[in-house]
Amino acid sequence: MKLIIFVTLCQCLINLSFAGDGYCYTKWMNGRWVSVGDCDNPSAEDVLKKLRENVAKKEEIKTWYRASNGLYYKLFNDPVTYATAKSNCQNRGGDLASVGIRNPTVFNGEILPMIKSVEVDTWIGLDDIQQEGAFVWADGVTLSDQDSFWSTDQPDDHKNQEDCVHLSHLKKWKFNDNHCSTSNRYICEIKLN
Ligand SMILES: [Ca+2]
Ligand SMILES: [Ca+2]
Ligand SMILES: [Ca+2]
């Protein structure tokens, strides 16, 4: 009897694992092991895996260019739509570049030399998707006249279809609004804590 209680106790301890807000454990029922308790939440193993992934992501960001404003930048050369560019940056923990673009020192001295290496248009984090004519930076700041570097006659919302902003290589890297579905390369910006 004592032996049975001991074995059962050991099995419980072995199978008991902390998961989310509660406990998830396996129990021998009707001839098979079944999961009992709070088993919907991620296991401790999953949480650890996620933590390791985050550390690896952070290490990767540290290989990016660190600008004088303390933020990290990387230019991605695969041509994608504005939405894809944005989500690719967000998946890495940042967004399309905004803070550094409206900082003349960082923009002219650090970002432009990076972008000028190849003459291709580049998405930045600026659009008027939410409200026509009201341009908002990726970090939520409203575009002001002070940080507007539009090329001549832009933004023109050509055919009422241009809501996403890129740096135009044909227009001396000034801003141009374009179709968001156009494929351009893009520059991400990330703040590491
Ligand atoms: Ca529009
Ligand atoms: Ca527009
Ligand atoms: Ca335009």
What is the CA(9)–ligand 3 centre distance, in A? 71
Domain coordinates in residue numbering, the chain: 2-37, 66-190
- What is the model's pLDDT at position 2? 55
SS3 state of residue 95 = strand
Ligand nearest to the CA of 178: 3
Backbone torsion region of residue 140, taken as left when φ is above 0, otherwise alpha when ψ lies between -120 and 50, otherwise beta: left
Q: Give the pLDDT confidence score for residue 32 in this predicted structure.
A: 79
How far is Cα 72 from Cα 60, in angstroms, rounded to an integer? 11
Least distant ligand from the CA of 171: 3
Taking the centre of ligand 3 as the mean of its atom positions, its distance from the CA of residue 62, in whole angstroms, is 35
- Which uninterrupted H or E stretch holds 192? none
Instruction: Tell me which amino acid residue 63 is.
Output: T
Domain 66-190 architecture: Roll (3.10)
Cα(154) to centroid of ligand 2, in Å? 10
Whose CA is closest to 125, among 155, 163, 165, 157? Answer: 165
Tokens at 193, concatenated: 């804590």
The CA 61 to ligand 2 mean position distance, Å, reads 32
Helices marked H in 76-145: 82-91, 104-106, 112-115
Q: Which two tokens stand for residue 44?
A: 């401790």
* 147 Cα to the center of ligand 2, angstroms: 18
Centroid of ligand 2 to alpha carbon of 93 (angstroms)? 27
| Distance from Cα 186 to the centre of ligand 3, integer Å | 17
Token pair in block for residue 66: 């660190």
Show pLDDT as tens, one digit a residue, over the chain (193 residues): 554 444 444 444 444 444 445 567 777 877 777 777 777 777 788 899 999 988 998 999 999 999 999 999 999 999 999 999 999 999 999 999 999 999 999 999 999 999 998 889 999 999 999 999 999 999 999 999 877 799 999 999 999 999 999 999 999 999 999 999 999 999 999 999 7
| CA distances for 10 relative to 4, 15, 29, 44, angstroms | 10, 9, 16, 20
